Structure 1
Amino acid sequence: MYITRTFEQSIQSSGFQFPVLLLTGARQVGKTTLLRHLSEAERTYVSLDDPLVLRLAKEDPALFMQRYQLPILIDEIQYAPELLPYVKMSVDKNPQPGMFWLTGSQQFHLMKGVSESLAGRVGILQLLGLSRMEIMNLGKESQVFLPTFESVRRRFSWGDTFNLMELYRLIWKGAFPALFAYENFNRDLFYSSYVQTYLQRDIRDLARVGDQMSFLRFLRAAAARTGQLLNMADMARDADIAPNTAKSWLSILQASGIVYLLEPYHTNVTKRLVKTPKLYFLDTGLCAYLTEWSSPENLEVGAMSGAILETWIIIELLKSYWHSGRRAPFYYYRDKDKKEIDLLIIQDGTIYPIELKKTASPSKHDIRHFRLLDRLKHPVGQGGVICLIERLLPLTESVQAIPVSLL
């Protein structure tokens, strides 16, 4: 079963604008399925997961390029970076748009080779798991999120209400397309296999992990801190590894599409703002699996309930931008007095503040820190509190409570 992705329009635009299209993202988020669905009949498909094909690509990339006809889709290009200079030469000889479509699961491996070989020739897009709109078969209707009154009201024509436990079932299940292929798909078996495969194939190559149990402890320590300020020393201590190792492993998780770092908003206007990013897992199902929540019901009443809801909201908003081919201008605000605003979206020089709350009774108290934005000397637009309320509720003239069901 194919699920229509919001990304389709962006790929069709970028794929026929640049000679090379590179679609990155974590394993199993649907990169290959999406590109094969969009591929015209004459596009050749080659997977570097095939050992024989990979051997040819690495040992004789010139012969590889002669053997396979253009246009071509090369899957898992990170396994054979030796191909990239030959892709460049082919593009320079015949710079037609859309000749090479590439997928890669490891930006860490890819970006150096791409930046050196394909600068100015490649469009780079990053795919995440299914958004809620895509799960509802409304992928084509999805638009970037802003908390303005007009933008939010438009979402009522697409949105669908759901109760608390339906929300946490979705959070606990996660967003990998395979989980939605069959009605009774075994979620625990999928994540168990995913973690094992990820450890064995990707991280071992990237980080030369000697002790896989240490890396698994680190992965779980990161999952337990989703929605929190990044504290590298604590994560290193929990995994019993050196701080430098923790820093290296975190960069690999980030580059592999497993975690997202939300940067703090910082300006020279005020020196009191913190500079530490916040850590978010890019899939809440994987996060819940690693932190061993056995059911949506236990997750909802447990210690991570608020943090994982915040994570899910942030990632849904992120998908609305990335899957539309847009950079996400996301930041959070926090000063040294621990006054915090969960999310700032900055568009055209205007700051749109958002609070994320696990409450069905939002109040003006939830937006008390919005007034701190006046000191930043930038225009402040309409804001919102995304929460468990069932309908839109004005909190002030410029701020409204927004149902989470509209994401």
Structure 2
Amino acid sequence: MGGTNDAADGTYALRAVDPLIGELLAGLPALLLVGPRAVGKTTTAHRFARSELRLDYPPTAQAVAVDPDAVLRELDEPVLIDEWQVAPAVLGAVKRAVDQAPHPGRFLVTGSVRGDLDSPTWPGTGRLVRVNMYGLTVAELLGRAPREPFLDRVAAQGVEHLPTPLERPDLRGYVELALRSGFPEAALELPADLRERWLDSYLDQLLTRDLAMIGGQRDPDRVRRYLEALALHTAGVVEHQAVFRAADLSRATADAYDHLLRNLLVAEAVPAWHSSRLKRLVRTPKRYLIEPALVASVLRLDTNSILQDALLLGRLLDTFVMAQLRAELPLCRSRPRLFHLRQADGRREIDLIAELSGRRTVAIEVKAGAPGTGDARHLAWLRDELGDEFVGGVILHTGQLAYSLGDRLTAAPISTLWA
């Protein structure tokens, strides 16, 4: 499954991570560019490399397996090492090369599968600086990257001055943007009907070839059933027990599948936020598929069917907003971490909490339609509890205007994210 965003005439859709990669290569010896398959990692990394080691080419992988140090020694730097997980011995060679000569701009390593990345004995620790890369944001689709991330704008200016954007899709327009996907090949090169087939093929390969690379022999039909349960609950705060029961799987099997899908970087769990000032907050994570178009593909849904299901519509919009924010996290100078908030009795719930450096907090909710003052009551509660640590709260909605909902509270169209 390709991940290019190079058009036939050789043009390149600028990615938001481009300046960051250039900056880091200028000061560090080795980077690890990590993300889901087919989000354009290789195409982006290619622009910074003077030579390439494509390990998905069997003869190259075999040569690396025999003597990885000798292969790397003869290449012009920066060296792009693509699909490292096919020949993991190459990472040991990178470690030895960096230990011997740690000057900047030596290696740029890419891969889609995390494998044992979290192992304490993984040779990249202290040598490879990780850069996360996800699908295209709407800003990138529109040719507006690089730009200042939304959370950095809020951190610097608050939410009171968020402008009404010139481009304001209606509800159908937002769903269509979400279903266009962030995969460059599908979003930039294919019409809607072929895009659906591309996404179906992506899922088939994910559940067969990619899964086998890290999970051994797994039943693709059972994994698909679990993925369907996750898709139905995307952007939901649900106990894991509810998910594996919905998939008709045992806890042990579901736990294994959940781990595999996270390793494939197509699913994630956003942790619950906690504060010593607040009581009775749940610890259950909020589950997401990382790509809203995959939600539709897994569940075999189109724009019309989503618009006719209010619960699923809300989940899809939340997943879409999360995809825009997640892709910008590596670029943010405010160093945000994302959480969600929910009280145990369900009385108060906030879709996303961005905890910035310096203990500052931004709260975000996502809503279909234009919100009123009453819709900001949970944000107002958090503002009053946190005091000066509360930077602002914003309800991102599918209406047309940005307007105040009170002190440090604002409603703004979702398109504010890329305005």
The question of a shared fold, defined as TM-score above 0.5 by the shorter chain, is answered with yes
Matched, 1:336 2:344: yes
Per the alignment, residue 414 of structure 2 pairs with: 404
- Going from structure 1 to structure 2, the CA distance change for 1:56 and 1:209 (only over 3 Å counts) comes to same
Matched, 1:35 2:45: yes
Aligned residues of 2:165 and 2:413 also touching (Cα < 8 A): no
- Going from structure 1 to structure 2, the CA distance change for 1:100 and 1:160 (only over 3 Å counts) comes to same
Aligned residues of 1:260 and 1:280 also touching (Cα < 8 A): yes
Alignment of 1:3-402 (within 5 A): 3-39=13-49, 43-66=50-73, 68-112=75-119, 116-145=122-151, 147=154, 150=157, 156=163, 160-184=167-191, 186-293=194-301, 295-302=302-309, 303-324=311-332, 327-338=335-346, 339-347=348-356, 348-360=358-370, 362-373=371-382, 374-375=384-385, 379-402=389-412
Aligned residues of 1:127 and 1:323 also touching (Cα < 8 A): no
d(CA) in 2 for partners of 1:107 and 1:326? Answer: 26
Question: 1:46 is matched by which residue type in structure 2?
Answer: L
Displacement after TM superposition at 1:245 (Å): 2.2
1:189-240 per-residue CA deviation (whole Å, 9 max, x = no partner) reads 1112111211222211212243211011111111111011143222222333
Question: 1:316 is matched by which residue type in structure 2?
Answer: Q
Question: 2:44 is matched by which residue type in structure 1?
Answer: L
Displacement after TM superposition at 1:350 (Å): 1.9
Aligned residues of 1:262 and 1:331 also touching (Cα < 8 A): yes
- Going from structure 1 to structure 2, the CA distance change for 1:34 and 1:388 (only over 3 Å counts) comes to same
3-state SS of paired residue (1:240) = coil
Displacement after TM superposition at 1:172 (Å): 1.6
d(CA) in 2 for partners of 1:215 and 1:135? Answer: 31
Aligned residues of 1:159 and 1:406 also touching (Cα < 8 A): no
Question: 2:397 is matched by which residue type in structure 1?
Answer: C
Aligned residues of 1:318 and 1:328 also touching (Cα < 8 A): no
- Going from structure 1 to structure 2, the CA distance change for 1:159 and 1:242 (only over 3 Å counts) comes to farther
Work out the percentage of aligned pairs sharing the same amino acid. 27
1:117-153 per-residue CA deviation (whole Å, 9 max, x = no partner) reads 2332221011010011101100122424254694668
Displacement after TM superposition at 1:317 (Å): 1.7
Aligned residues of 2:181 and 2:187 also touching (Cα < 8 A): no
Question: 1:219 is matched by which residue type in structure 2?
Answer: L
Aligned residues of 1:10 and 1:324 also touching (Cα < 8 A): no
Report the number of matched residues.
Answer: 401
1:313-368 per-residue CA deviation (whole Å, 9 max, x = no partner) reads 122122222355875421111111202111222222122222211122x1121121
Displacement after TM superposition at 1:252 (Å): 2.3
Displacement after TM superposition at 1:82 (Å): 1.2
d(CA) in 2 for partners of 1:325 and 1:90? Answer: 31
1:89-130 per-residue CA deviation (whole Å, 9 max, x = no partner) reads 1112221111011001122333437x6323322210110100
Deviates further, 62-71 or 134-143? 62-71
- Going from structure 1 to structure 2, the CA distance change for 1:45 and 1:84 (only over 3 Å counts) comes to same
d(CA) in 2 for partners of 1:122 and 1:326? Answer: 23
- Going from structure 1 to structure 2, the CA distance change for 1:80 and 1:159 (only over 3 Å counts) comes to farther
TM-score (norm 2): 0.89
d(CA) in 2 for partners of 1:249 and 1:197? Answer: 16
Structure 1 spans left out of the alignment, 5+ residues: none
Aligned residues of 2:48 and 2:78 also touching (Cα < 8 A): no
Aligned residues of 1:133 and 1:142 also touching (Cα < 8 A): no
- Going from structure 1 to structure 2, the CA distance change for 1:191 and 1:9 (only over 3 Å counts) comes to same
Aligned residues of 1:267 and 1:376 also touching (Cα < 8 A): no
